[in-house]
Amino acid sequence: MEILKYANMKKIELSPDQQKVLSLLKDDTIREVKYSANLCYGKTWVGCVWVLTECLQKKKFFGITINKGDERRFLRTFNLVAQHYGFNENIKYNEINRTFDFNNTKSIVYLLNAEMQKADERYERWGAFELDGVFIDNLNDLHHNAYLMLRSRTNKLYITNIAKNRSIDTLNSLWIKK
């Protein structure tokens, strides 16, 4: 499946499941896409491809939730995806603000600290965000209040690693229509 055509971009080769997830993420009638699979099935890779291609097309604001322990793993994957498809010259990572800035479209991707803070148990710190999309990398580590706040701040959610016993509403399907 080829998502975007850039002169210096390699063809995006994904498995059939990854292609389905990506096509669901591009469908404007679908609000949430949930992808749960075993280790090394490319869930984070697909999320990075989705965020990168969306942000390189036009100005977008994305949020990506990660826990402190997963940040290095996620940054490594994000950088590998950007390098693999030739996007890295258009992106700068600001370590202080924890943002990726896109030169050509002025898109911004925010790395959101998903850890619960006693002073902000309802995650009101995210209340000012109006995001075009949110990538929740590993729902199992996300507090229910964080999920609810993010869901209220965007029209598109991509969620990975969902435990079967997770009590978040609407987790019984792969996608949810608006």
Query: What integer best gives the mean pLDDT of the chain?
Result: 78
Per-residue pLDDT tens digits for 86-117? 888 889 999 898 899 998 788 999 988 878 88
Say what the pLDDT of residue 5 is: 42
What predicted TM-score, i.e. pTM, was given to this entire model? 0.81
Per-residue pLDDT tens digits for 11-49? 667 888 888 888 888 888 888 888 877 666 678 888 999
Say what the pLDDT of residue 169 is: 44
Say what the pLDDT of residue 7 is: 39
Q: For residues 62 and 64, give the distance between their C-alpha atoms in angstroms, rounded to a whole number.
A: 7
Pick the CATH number of 16-177 from 3.40.50.300, 3.40.50.970, 1.20.58.2050, 3.90.740.10: 3.40.50.300
Say what the pLDDT of residue 87 is: 83
H/E segment holding residue 45: helix 43-57
H helices of 58-116, in order, are 71-84
Q: For residues 171 and 60, give the distance between their C-alpha atoms in angstroms, rounded to a whole number.
A: 27
Per-residue pLDDT tens digits for 45-92? 889 999 988 898 888 899 888 777 778 888 899 999 998 888 888 899
Query: 137, 81 in Cβ contact below 8 A?
Result: no
Query: For residue 174, is pLDDT > 60?
Result: no
